Structure 1
Amino acid sequence: MRASRIWAWVTFGLGATFFFLPLIATFEFSLRMKRGVYSFEAYRSVIGDTRFQETFAYSVTVAVMTILLGVLLVVPTAYWIRLRMPHLRPVVEFVTLLPLIIPAIVIVFGYIRMYGSSSPLPFLATRRGTDVLLVIGYATLALPYMYRAVDTGLRTIDVRTLTEAAQILGAGWATIIGRIILPNVLIAVLSGAFLTFAIVIGEFTMASLLNAPAFGPYMQNIGANRAYEPAALAIIAFVITWACMGGIQILARFAPRSANRPN
């Protein structure tokens, strides 16, 4: 027993070293912009860059719209599948896994081919149309994570009993989903939302090929032309991503209590 615990701690230490050592080295390098001293000059340069502010604000806005679209699509679908069509769950799960199998570059080239300026639906002819198409594309990429998060949340509640009780009290379908089902799976929805946010913030392929002023292409452009700022951007992106992961872990602690509360 004692030997097993020792080997477990050794394995954990090796894994932590493998994970954190490159991050520490990247952080240390990002502080060397001023020769001979450590400083946060690279971080001030990045955060003070107007392109950083514009692209980050754009990606945050797109992420919020993507989350809203994902919730509107996934919550009613997952609820209806669990309530009335459980035999279709394998089919829906397979469909939601397709974005993990089909590369993003294939999806975006299909969008360009289908919605270019010469097509019957020229989304790409205007900036607003491109933004809408980008939100749809990001919602597609985030579909596996959002669907599984919501489906897991629905498993923790008695969907049929809640629905029947609401119908007895005269509630319609919109009321049932919006005021009964959604509050009970809110923690799961927020978990999917954090994952979606992390995906959108760092995504490069779709934003680049659709020529969108997003954060992902900005990070790639900085990495190709500067030395210390890319390291600072990498640390910033890491902090944002792990803040999202930490948010999921914090919310997960309240999931059982929230998911089973009476309505």
Structure 2
Amino acid sequence: MDEVEVVVAHAERATLRVGDVFLKVDADQARADAEVEAMTLAPVPTPEVLWRKPPVLALAALPGTTLGRLGGPSTGSPAAWGAAGAALRKLHDAPPPPRTGRAGRSVVALAAELDAECELIVANGLLPADLVTRNRRVAEAALRPFTPAFTHGDLQIAHVFVDGDEVTGIIDWSEAGRGDALYDLATFTLGHEEHLVDVLAGYGTGVDVDLDVIRAWWSLRSLLAVRWLVEHGFDPFAPGCEVDVLRSRM
């Protein structure tokens, strides 16, 4: 019998792997519903849904390997990053689903959340005030109107699988919905800024890609993540992770 591998686990959800099957356990069934709907609608390769018995969703493993992980080296070639950019463009060009995803939060709500989080980060002594203040200013560029697109909402590089230079699938669609396309581009290149040019080469022309907004999302996403990661047993201070991203803005 295959061993059970704990892929990720925290208070909100857990993902286990048994052989070629991933078991996602999520107490929020609305979030699980949204994930299944997004995978059905997305015009890019996604995992096959094997079965579902709430609170468990069983998915087939994807072929290939991930492009890398935050805080680690990229295992993908420039062409593979470009292929991921092309897949992302295909997603963003598709009709967006009715649900608003993580990347589609209102400017007012996002600004309020960001300000509250910055205050807590400093008050709890997690990061120095000047580092937080500088990145809060950088993040301001992301707080602007945008045309909603079909967004993944949590497009970490570990969620994109490739075989050679071909994208074989994208996983973890629970945050998908209508949102800011540049949020996806920023999330995908977070901590791997050197590959942004490769991603944009695959993403193509005809869309206004504001690099200042992508940089703003790097700061904004990192600021919102630091405290949550610490409280859930992850390490945003590890080399190449969120805190290093924030320091690079200085």
TM-score normalised by length of structure 2: 0.21
Which one scores higher on RCO, CA 8 angstroms, separation ≥ 6?
Answer: 1
- Mark the structure with the bigger radius of gyration: 1
TM-score normalised by length of structure 1: 0.20
More helix by share: 1
